[in-house]
Amino acid sequence: MPDVRAYPAAVSPAHPVHVILAAYPIACFTGAFLTDIVYARTYDMMWADFSAWLITIGLVMGVLAAIAGIADYLVHRRDRLRRSASPHTIGNMLALLLSLINAFVHSRDAYTSVVPTGLILSGIVALLVLISSWLGSSLAYRPRSEGML
C-alpha cells in the first residue's frame, strides 16, 4: 500500500516567500474587519485608526505577496496547476482592489469612514482573503502518492 501524505506540490524558490508574505494580508484584513466591528459598537476613533493602518499594511504586504506569487506561478510550466491557480489569483486580485477602495473609504473622517461602507468592504475582503488563502493552500499542499509525480 503506498504511503499517502501531503507533499508540497510547489517546488519553486519563491513559494516559501509567497507563503510567509501571504500571512500578513490575511491577518491584517481580518483584523481590520474586527476593528471595524468594535468601532461600530463603541464609536471610539482609535478603532477606526487601527482599521486604516491594518488595511494599509495589508495592502503593502499583499502587493509583495502577489509579486512572490506571480514568480511562483511563472515557475510552474504544468498547465493543470496554472489553471487551478486561477480562482486563487482572481480572489487575491479582487481582495487587493477592494482593499484599495476600502483604504480610501477609511481615509474619511469619523463615523462615515467605517459605518456602513467600510464595515461592509472589510467583511467582504476578509471573507475573500480567507477563501482565497484556502484555495491557495489546497493548491500547494495536496495529498498524493509517493510514486506519483
Give, for all 149 residues of the chain, the pLDDT tens digit: 454 444 455 456 667 888 899 999 999 999 999 999 999 999 999 999 999 999 999 999 999 999 998 888 787 666 556 667 788 889 999 999 999 999 999 999 878 889 999 999 999 999 999 999 998 887 766 655 444 44
Domains of the chain, start order: 12-138 (1.20.120)
The one-letter amino acid at 10:
A
Interval 24-45: pLDDT, tens: 999 999 999 999 999 999 999 9
Q: Which run of H or of E encompasses 109?
A: none
Q: Which run of H or of E encompasses 12?
A: none
pTM as predicted: 0.83
User: How far is residue 95's CA from residue 75's CA, in Å, rounded to a whole number?
Assistant: 24
Query: In whole numbers, what is the pLDDT of the chain averaged over residues?
Result: 85
Q: Is 65 helix (H, G, I), strand (E, B) or coil?
A: helix
